[in-house]
């Protein structure tokens, strides 16, 4: 089953030790190769390599944007006072009072408003331990993304199969039209022979007949188109990431359709060849969305 290259996955979760909450969002956009950007909170920065490796193990193509937000900070466990800073402020207050005879008292509100006087310390937490507990949240976000990519892929495959069936019908039409076209040219040449009478060189006539038959024979092109379509359907059905292979097969189908247009030399066959090229272009647009 083919997957769409676009999608979004989300997951949230809480860690007990340390007490953290994470929100994870993974978005996937069309891209020829796998390209990834990651935005992490400070506590997960040392784990970027592991996170990148985890995402790469599940996705093969696309521009991937991973955004991880930390909703709850580690609860502070220790509050400290910068005593040197406090002593300096108290000493300055005493000097001002003695030197300039300034009245008033230094109260607690004044002290607490001094920048940097109160310090909060957080427990030291190993990033390896955080990632081990965080990894299931990342996995749920990836699963959510992959489920959306799968559903989108199923819809894309349905549309592609419609065009594939149309191409098969047009190739069958061309095969049915070949005898009709040959009869048309045979009758046309016979009428020319009858008009020319004895002046016609029979050897030259046979040469022209052979040349025309060889130049307008599209049997091989039809066979190759059916072969490409068979491989295309097999890849679409059985491969998870067939995007590049499908693009190659579409190029080959386009080449055969162009040859059909040149060699057809018959209005109805030319119309079918043009319709084949139109369906190939429709498929090409859809395949660009497959991983």
pLDDT of residue 4: 92
- Which of residues 97 and 22 earns the better pLDDT score? 22
Look at residue 74 and tell me whether its pLDDT is greater than 60: no
pLDDT of residue 61: 87
Cα–Cα nearest to 141, from 58, 29, 44, 72: 58
Judging by DSSP bridges, how do beta strands 20-29 and 34-39 pair with one another?
unpaired
- Residue 276, exposed/middle/buried by CB under 10 A (0-12, 13-18, 19+)? buried
3-state helix, strand, coil in the chain (%, to 5): 65, 15, 20
Any idea what the Cα angle at residue 261 is, between residues 255 and 262, rounded to 5°?
A: 95
CA distance 261 to 249: 19
pLDDT of residue 92: 85
Look at residue 209 and tell me whether its pLDDT is greater than 80: no
Model-level pTM? 0.68
- 3-class secondary structure, 187: helix
Give the tokens for residue 104: 């008033």
> For all residues of the chain together, what is the average pLDDT?
85
CA distance 86 to 25: 45
Q: Give residue 279's pLDDT band: very low, low, confident or very high (50, 70, 90).
A: very high
- 3-class secondary structure, 28: strand
Q: Give residue 162's pLDDT band: very low, low, confident or very high (50, 70, 90).
A: very high
Which residues have C-beta within 8 Å of that of residue 129, sequence separation ≥ 6? 17
pLDDT digits (tens, 9 = 90+) for 108-143: 888 788 888 887 665 555 666 788 889 999 999 999
Interval 90-119 mean pLDDT = 82
Domains of the chain (ranges; CATH) run: 7-74+127-150 (3.30.230), 78-121 (no CATH), 153-287 (no CATH)
């Amino acid at each position: 089953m083919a997957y769409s290259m676009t999608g979004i996955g989300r997951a949230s979760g809480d860690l007990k030790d340390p007490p953290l909450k994470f929100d994870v969002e993974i978005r996937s956009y069309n891209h020829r190769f796998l390209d990834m950007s990651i935005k992490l909170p400070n506590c997960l920065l040392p784990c970027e390599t592991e996170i990148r490796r985890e995402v790469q193990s599940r996705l093969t193509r696309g521009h991937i944007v991973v955004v991880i937000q930390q909703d709850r900070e580690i609860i502070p466990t220790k509050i400290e006072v910068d005593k040197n800073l406090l002593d300096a402020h108290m000493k300055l207050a005493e000097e001002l009072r003695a030197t300039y005879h300034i009245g008033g008292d230094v109260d607690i509100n004044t002290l607490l408003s001094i920048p940097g006087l109160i310090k909060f310390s957080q427990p030291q937490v190993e990033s390896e331990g955080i990632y081990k507990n965080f990894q299931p949240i990342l996995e749920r976000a990836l699963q959510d993304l992959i489920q959306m990519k799968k559903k989108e892929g199923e819809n894309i495959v349905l549309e592609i199969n419609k065009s594939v069936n149309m191409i098969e019908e047009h190739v069958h039409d061309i095969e049915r039209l070949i005898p009709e076209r040959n009869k048309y040219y045979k009758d046309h040449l016979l009428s020319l022979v009858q008009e020319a009478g004895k002046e016609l060189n029979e050897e030259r006539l046979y040469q022209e007949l052979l040349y025309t038959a060889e130049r307008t024979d599209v049997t091989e092109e039809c066979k190759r188109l059916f072969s490409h379509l068979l491989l295309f359907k097999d890849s679409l059905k059985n491969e998870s990431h067939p995007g590049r292979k499908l693009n190659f097969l579409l190029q080959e189908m386009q080449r055969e359709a162009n040859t059909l247009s040149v060699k057809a030399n018959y209005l109805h066959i030319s119309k079918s060849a043009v319709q084949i090229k139109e369906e190939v272009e429709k498929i090409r647009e859809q395949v660009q969305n497959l991983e």
